[in-house]
Amino acid sequence: MPVLFVNNLSVIDFAYFCPIRGIVGESLILDVELFGELNEEGMLFDFSYVKKRIKSCVDSLVDHKLLVATKSEYVKISNSPQQLELELITKDARIFRHTSPNQAVCLINASEISKNSIAELIRIEISKILPNNVSKTQIGLRSEVIKTPFFHYAHGLKKHFGDCQRIAHGHRSKIEVFVDSNYSDEWSMHIAQLWKDVYLATEEDIKEDISINGIGYWVFEYHANQGLFQLTIQKSCCHLIETDTTVELIASYLADYLKKELPNNHIRIKAYEGVDKGAVSERC
């Protein structure tokens, strides 16, 4: 049977709820294989249509969203026609409350969020938009191979007109620190450990400072063009920044942070936002 494959078709940047780790930012690379019979043009499917139609479908389905497993015992869901409310509780009793428009969340009919459960959802949905001569679809999701330190972070960008405005989407990102033009694995690892599974938040988005079961929480809230977004999250899961959390401002923040640690050295930060994109900031 003829097979058409497209590797690196897209990178999916999203966040998901894990009962152990909490809300985790993630980036996965999408590979697709299509099986079927050749059409009258001697093709399974035109490459240009494969990339456009499948990427568009996948982006609208899972990209820049919070992914939640509906069969998980740690998830409670209530929704209205336009708004969705989630209460997510980890095994160590951390509470996450997330309110957003429905379009900011992807609910997956599974007991956990995994590469397999995401791939199965994508397979089902893209099968609906493919021509009749395509009889089988195989989806591959893989993490970027990273040999240097990296971290997972979630955030939201209220000023962004597109889907980055969603309060809990995220990335799996490399971090590269250069001290006096020399790559420093020590300081790169320091940042990666400091921000392991972190939620990066903007100070001005704090609506309330509250206590739940004697533990400190922040309630973040903002209105963007897609609607109202709110996230209640334990303080220990967050890192507050005075500015918004674009990758350019993250790189600048880290450069300032390390310059205070190493005042006599030249600092160069290469901060990634997912796969193969990011920003650079330097301090002399």
Distance CA 139, CA 31 (A): 6
Per-residue model confidence (pLDDT) at position 46 = 78
Instruction: Walk along the chain (284 residues) in steps of 10 and give the mean pLDDT of each run.
Output: 90 98 98 90 78 91 98 94 94 98 97 98 93 91 97 97 97 98 98 98 98 98 97 98 98 98 98 97 97
**Sequence-separated (6 or more) residues with CB below 8 Å from residue 196:** 151, 152
Note whether 151 and 171 are within 8 A (CB): no
Per-residue model confidence (pLDDT) at position 233 = 98
Give me 226's structure tokens. Answer: 């897609």
Per-residue model confidence (pLDDT) at position 39 = 84
What is 210-243 written as a DSSP string?
EEETTEEEEEEEEEETTEEEEEEEEGGGEEEESS
DSSP state of 284: -
**Sequence-separated (6 or more) residues with CB below 8 Å from residue 219:** 206, 207, 208, 209, 210, 230, 231, 232
By CB atoms closer than 10 A (0-12, 13-18, 19+), residue 23 is buried
Give me 76's structure tokens. Answer: 């409670």
Per-residue model confidence (pLDDT) at position 20 = 98
Per-residue model confidence (pLDDT) at position 172 = 98
pTM of the model: 0.95
Per-residue model confidence (pLDDT) at position 131 = 85
Give me 119's structure tokens. Answer: 């791939």
Contacts 24+ apart (CB under 8 A), 82-91: 82/227, 83/227, 83/228, 86/17, 88/17, 88/22, 88/23, 89/19, 90/18, 90/19, 90/20, 90/21, 90/22, 91/19, 91/20
Note whether 150 and 133 are within 8 A (CB): no
**φ, ψ for residue 234 (rounded to 5)?**
-60, 140
* Continuous segment of H or E residues that includes residue 120: helix 115-127
Terminal alpha carbon distance of the chain = 60
Note whether 238 and 198 are within 8 A (CB): yes
Note whether 13 and 171 are within 8 A (CB): yes
Distance CA 89, CA 17 (A): 9
* Continuous segment of H or E residues that includes residue 62: helix 55-62
